[in-house]
Amino acid sequence: MQTSACIFDLDGVIVDTARYHFLAWKRLTDQLGIHFTEEDNERLKGVSRIASLDIILEIGKVNADENQKHEYATRKNKWYVEYISKMTPDEILPGSLAFIKELRNAGIRVAIGSASKNTPMILERVGISELFDAVADGNIVKRAKPDPEVFLKAAELLDIEPQRCVVFEDAVAGVQAALNAGMMCIGIGSPGILKKAQFVISGLNEMNLMKLRILENEIRS
């Protein structure tokens, strides 16, 4: 079965916003007296904002009620938005634009499937809002990855069956979400971490349509 649509995670696949998330969480954890490292930040990739905060509070062994949690998450997001509002098109990861344009020229539909509620601002800042046929993000889905909701929503918006979609994902929870959606998944990162992805590359600069066609034949046959 041939691929009719590609769904891209945003953070870690098309842009590297993990460092901005880290800087913003670090400002919060410094204020709360929690020791938070870049290694800890790895655990937050692909995880929703509030679930990320829960992990951080658990690391710091800090208790907080719902009101406090809401205030902490809002404080962090305010700083995060300050950082991403200064993003430029130079921050698009290598190979992303060329691959997405190649897909579009071949009639393959393209969508975003991201946990981030800041997806529209990021796409706008880096100048690629017009590039996607559909955007499924944290503003329209309720259940966080590894739940398949975000990818199923993207497929629905594109009007393409899940079995004809390929997901590109950098987070363990995101790879699982793609598989749960019944989609083929190509991991972006390390094969040692993204163990369940059917194939792993280090970035979209390693992908092109011919390679995708070869992979789908191997994986779907």
Catalytic residue IDs: 9, 11
Structure tokens at 109: 């539909």
Interface with Mg ion, residue 146, by CB under 5 A: no
Using left for φ > 0, alpha for ψ between -120 and 50, and beta otherwise, residue 159 falls in left
Stretch that binds ligand B16, among 46-54, 90-98, 103-111, 192-200 (CB under 6 A): 46-54
Interface with Mg ion, residue 189, by CB under 5 A: no
Which whole-number Å values give the CA distances from 65 to 68, 71, 137, in the listed order?
5, 10, 27
CB neighbours (10 Å) of residue 2? 10
Task: Please list every residue from 163 through 202 that binds ligand B16, using CB under 6 A.
Answer: 171
- In the list Mg ion, ligand B16, none, the entry touching 29 (Cβ below 5 to 8 angstroms by class) is none
- Compute the distance between CA of residue 183 and CA of residue 163 in angstroms, rounded to an integer: 5
- In the list Mg ion, ligand B16, none, the entry touching 149 (Cβ below 5 to 8 angstroms by class) is none
Interface with Mg ion, residue 46, by CB under 5 A: yes
Q: What are the residues binding ligand B16 (CB under 6 A)?
A: 9-12, 21, 44-49, 52, 77, 114-118, 138, 171
